Structure 1
């Protein structure tokens, strides 16, 4: 189905990995700790935005002053994720595509998560051996919807952007792929990849 592309690039959360419950629990714990309202539709719309960026958007939207630094709030969520990821993450059906092209085409993961976290989650899901590179938000100056993440993936893979296909579950991610000059596949629509949210 994707034979005419030279490389495959996957988003991680919600695309290659079902981490819906992990991040809903982590965000619920974080927002409750810092007394930030939980607006679930808004949170879904921010899929792919790194933690600090999401917190900044929430604080501005609700006009809040929180007695904690952005770093502290980010660290709390990241620690919750690291302490509980083994309980919630699992591969999605898209892993079958990655397995099919393993050894045939170079593949990378481009994610809004931090690189170390992403590598750990991929390892827990038994997917780490399928991809040559993982590009997290800490590796680029501008995260999604900027094209930097996917352009970095293409650079590391040694493939021209226009010969890459990106698999994404979020509008911001698909926007990033388009801005990078890459084909984008909406995995919710094309592959019916659905995350297991607890609400």
Structure 2
């Protein structure tokens, strides 16, 4: 397996959180699966993969469009996050990415750009004992346009005081990769460096 490396041109690092720093995707998957069962939706790992990086409320909206359901997107999205929060302790670190965070801490500016909610994002970092490595975290509440729009990562760059073209983004989802490229940043897909299995037992 290839080694995860920082581009020599990078002056700052931006990390997605779910599936990038924290192996939370199996936990998110189980939370969605539990909530959606009541609506007759068979939530598969393949379906979940197409929705990676989309905030919960927008995910429910998309599922309504796909399945013709009439779920209250705000209420159901928040319910899913509540179920997820109860399972958060099951998450594991993504070791190659965490090793990179620790290696470059203090060497160059770093931030987190996530499609998740701020409270849960900080809680994830705390569970993994990584909260001390980051001062800057841009969440879905901080932007008008979520990924694949570049706003999340552009705000990270602005807060770090580094031009977008000098930032390297580490992502696990295609929407995040699109957002990084649209921001004019270097983009690294971390799933090339570790095994992913959303439907695995946790």
User: Could you report, residue by residue, the CA deviation over 1:6-55 in whole angstroms, capped at 9, with x for unpaired residues?
Assistant: 10000011111101221111011111133333243121111001111111
Q: CA deviation at 1:75?
A: 1.6
Are the equivalent residues in 2 in contact too, given 1:21–1:198 (CA < 8 A)? yes
Q: Please tell me whether residue 176 in structure 1 is matched to residue 179 in structure 2.
A: yes
User: Could you report, residue by residue, the CA deviation over 1:55-113 in whole angstroms, capped at 9, with x for unpaired residues?
Assistant: 111111111224xx222101211111112211x11211210000000011110110110
Q: Please tell me whether residue 63 in structure 1 is matched to residue 65 in structure 2.
A: no
CA–CA distance in structure 1, aligned partners of residues 40 and 142 of structure 2: 30
Question: Counterpart in 2 of 1:140?
Answer: 143
CA–CA distance in structure 1, aligned partners of residues 199 and 14 of structure 2: 24
What is the Cα-based RMSD across aligned positions, in Å? 1.5
Q: CA deviation at 1:195?
A: 5.3
Give the alignment partner of residue 80 of structure 1, picking from 79, 83, 91.
Answer: 83
Are the equivalent residues in 2 in contact too, given 1:19–1:195 (CA < 8 A)? no
TM-score under structure 2 normalisation? Answer: 0.91
TM-score under structure 1 normalisation? Answer: 0.92
Instruction: Name structure 2 gaps, 5 residues minimum.
Output: none
Instruction: Name structure 1 gaps, 5 residues minimum.
Output: none
Q: Secondary structure at the match of 1:119?
A: helix
CA shift in 2, pair 1:162/1:193, >3 Å: farther
Q: Please tell me whether residue 92 in structure 1 is matched to residue 94 in structure 2.
A: yes
Q: Moved runs in structure 1, 4+ residues, more than 6 A?
A: none
Q: Secondary structure at the match of 1:57?
A: helix
Equivalent pairs counted in the alignment come to: 195
Are the equivalent residues in 1 in contact too, given 2:26–2:200 (CA < 8 A)? yes
Are the equivalent residues in 1 in contact too, given 2:58–2:73 (CA < 8 A)? no
